[in-house]
Amino acid sequence: MKFKILVAVCSGVLFFTYCTSSKKATGSAQTVFYATHIQPIVNVQCSPCHFPSRDGKKSSLETYDDVSMNINEIIRRIELYPGTKGFMPMKKPRLSDSTIALFKTWKAEGLGK
């Protein structure tokens, strides 16, 4: 009887030990980079008004420097809802929450190229 209890306890400890460590190993998030994640969104969602720049009336978002220098304003405006003054992307549907989260993560991670 004692042997069965000992085996059960050891099995439980082993199970929970590996269960916890595997969650930690797979729980790490992917790093967000401008060229891989942000630039393709900007190219599609911000053109033709901001990319390529046309008449100088709108902020250019053609380069990494343009986007990184304006990231706070970009995030503020893409978080707005259609019909709200300043909403972006103008005349397009609101970006998905996951897309908006990419911009926030990119900023939080230090604006990696």
Three-state SS across 24-52? Answer: HHHCCCCCCCHHHHHHHHHHHHCCCCCCC
Residue 14 forms part of a structural domain: no
For residue 101, the enclosing domain spans: 34-108
Number of domains in the chain: 1
Residue 10 forms part of a structural domain: no
Residue 51 forms part of a structural domain: yes
User: What are 58-76's pLDDT values in tens digits?
Assistant: 889 999 999 999 999 999 9
User: What are 3-34's pLDDT values in tens digits?
Assistant: 444 344 444 433 444 444 333 444 446 899 99
Residue 49 forms part of a structural domain: yes
Residue 3 forms part of a structural domain: no
Residue 63 forms part of a structural domain: yes
> What's the pTM?
0.72
Residue 6 forms part of a structural domain: no
Residue 21 forms part of a structural domain: no
